[in-house]
């Protein structure tokens, strides 16, 4: 049985499974989330796989409280005030990651920032306490469907993809958290949500800046910049040219002289997804101007991997 009542015993079992890399769907005061250990790249990859998400966008990382949050991110500027006023609750803060931050690259889509939230829901709190790891969790629905506000919605969408669906009735808000980028002096509203803008502005004492349309943000909630390597990417490469480094996949690696990182020698897409952002950074650091990229199969997680590679290969400005 995947769908179980959120009793203490089931929360403990779910927390153990989560620590072992499994997915757990759980209620928050906004919507039901599909959670994975945020420090485990392959567990985070399984979220994208279960949702059939065609893109790697950064996820909200849930933590048990301010202390856990401060171990991960920089709370300078106005972040402390906002956390003190709204946590636990439906406000997500985008903050700069601290050096050595344990969050997997895939959970932040390779960015230097992390979106953190302390949920108020008692089941979410109990799960975080028992798991003792930060939990990355987007809404627990298939990509393109509406966010689930009951355990039955989750089950209808995801079946037995999560190891547990913790049932605790309907969500109070039924609306996503408000996302605020607290990294600039003037915090910016990235996504409107359950906490009204005016309440946040009352705490700050000035208006929230809008996400900057100059930077190509189509709508609130869209992020300003994606991690992109400095080097150019040459996709579907079957050979490595002079001066190129190599992003490999599988065991049939072409001859090369320069740097090479293999996303998954076994050809495992979950492993490849978990390594993708670190691999791009590593090859960038090798100094090569061009990275030859071996083909990655398009099925399952391969769709999101190829989407990221294609956008990294496209002319800049994305």
Q: Please report whether residue 121 would count as binding ligand AMP according to CB under 6 A.
A: no
Separation between Cα atoms, residue 313 and residue 201, nearest integer Å? 39
Q: Cβ closer to ligand AMP: 36 or 296? A: 36
Determine the interface stretch with Mg ion among 61-69, 138-146, 157-165, 279-287 (rule: CB under 5 A): 138-146
Q: Please report whether residue 114 would count as binding ligand AMP according to CB under 6 A.
A: yes
Q: Please report whether residue 139 would count as binding Mg ion according to CB under 5 A.
A: yes
**Chosen residue from 15, 22, 59, 260 binding ligand AMP by CB under 6 A:** 59
Minimum distance from residue 197 beta carbon to ligand AMP (Å): 15
DSSP 238: S
Q: Cβ closer to ligand AMP: 111 or 194? A: 111
Residue 57 interacting partner from ligand AMP, Mg ion, none (CB closer than 5 to 8 Å by kind): ligand AMP
Determine the interface stretch with ligand AMP among 17-25, 51-59, 63-71, 240-248 (rule: CB under 6 A): 51-59
**Residues 89-104: b if buried by 16+ CB within 10 A, e if exposed:** bbbbbbbbbeeebebb
Tokens of 20: 């072992």
CB–CB of 55/110 below 8 Å? no
Determine the interface stretch with ligand AMP among 62-70, 109-117, 227-235, 270-278 (rule: CB under 6 A): 109-117
Provide the sign of the torsion angle of the four alpha carbons 213, 218, 221, 222, taken in this order: negative
Beta strands in the chain (DSSP E): 3-5, 24-27, 32-37, 60-62, 91-96, 113-117, 135-136, 164-167, 178-181, 188-191, 209-210, 232-234, 244-248, 260-262, 290-293
Partnered with residue 189 across adjacent β-strands are 180, 210
Q: Cβ closer to ligand AMP: 184 or 207? A: 184
Residue 221 interacting partner from ligand AMP, Mg ion, none (CB closer than 5 to 8 Å by kind): ligand AMP
- The residues in 204-233 that bind ligand AMP, with binding defined as CB under 6 A, are 221, 223
Q: Cβ closer to Mg ion: 189 or 280? A: 189
CB-nearest residue to Mg ion? 139
Residue 113 interacting partner from Mg ion, ligand AMP, none (CB closer than 5 to 8 Å by kind): ligand AMP
Separation between Cα atoms, residue 1 and residue 41, nearest integer Å? 26
Determine the interface stretch with ligand AMP among 2-10, 67-75, 107-115, 304-312 (rule: CB under 6 A): 107-115
Tokens of 281: 């950074």
**Chosen residue from 36, 111, 124, 240 binding ligand AMP by CB under 6 A:** 111
Separation between Cα atoms, residue 43 and residue 135, nearest integer Å? 10
Tokens of 196: 């009204």
Determine the interface stretch with ligand AMP among 73-81, 110-118, 251-259, 283-291 (rule: CB under 6 A): 110-118
Determine the interface stretch with ligand AMP among 53-61, 122-130, 229-237, 252-260 (rule: CB under 6 A): 53-61
Q: Which long-range contacts (CB under 8 A, 24 or more apart) does 95-98 make?
A: 95/69, 95/182, 95/183, 96/183, 97/72, 97/73, 98/71, 98/72, 98/73, 98/74
* Interface residue list for Mg ion (CB under 5 A): 139, 147
Residue ranges in contact with ligand AMP by CB under 6 A: 57-60, 94, 108, 111, 113-115, 138-139, 176, 179, 190-191, 221, 223
């Amino acid at each position: 049985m995947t769908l179980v009542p959120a009793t203490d015993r089931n929360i403990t079992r779910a927390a153990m499974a989560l620590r072992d890399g499994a997915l757990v769907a759980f209620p928050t005061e906004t919507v039901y989330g599909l959670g994975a250990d945020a420090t485990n790249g392959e567990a985070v990859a399984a979220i994208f796989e279960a949702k059939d998400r065609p893109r790697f966008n950064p996820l909200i990382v849930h933590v048990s409280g301010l202390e856990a949050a401060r171990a991960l991110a920089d709370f300078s500027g106005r972040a402390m005030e906002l956390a003190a006023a709204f946590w636990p609750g439906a406000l997500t803060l985008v903050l700069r990651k601290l050096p050595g931050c344990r969050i997997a690259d895939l959970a932040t889509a390779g960015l230097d920032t992390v979106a953190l939230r302390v949920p108020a829901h008692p089941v979410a709190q109990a799960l975080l306490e028992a798991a003792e790891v930060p939990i990355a969790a987007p809404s627990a629905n298939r990509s393109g469907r509406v966010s689930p506000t009951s355990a039955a919605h989750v089950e209808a969408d995801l079946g037995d993809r999560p190891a547990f669906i913790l049932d605790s009735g309907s969500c109070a808000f039924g609306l996503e958290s408000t996302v605020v980028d607290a990294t600039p002096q003037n915090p910016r509203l990235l996504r409107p949500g359950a906490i009204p803008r005016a309440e946040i502005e009352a705490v700050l004492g000035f208006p929230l800046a809008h996400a900057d349309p100059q930077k190509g943000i189509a709508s609130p909630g869209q992020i300003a910049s994606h991690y992109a390597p400095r080097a150019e990417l040459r996709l579907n490469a079957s050979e490595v040219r002079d001066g190129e480094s190599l992003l490999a996949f599988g065991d049939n690696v072409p001859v090369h002289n320069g740097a090479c990182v293999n996303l998954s020698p076994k050809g495992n897409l979950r492993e490849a997804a978990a390594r993708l952002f670190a691999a791009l950074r590593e090859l960038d650091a090798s100094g090569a101007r061009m990275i030859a990229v071996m083909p990655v199969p398009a099925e399952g997680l391969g769709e999101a991997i190829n989407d990221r590679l294609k956008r990294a290969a496209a002319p800049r400005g994305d």
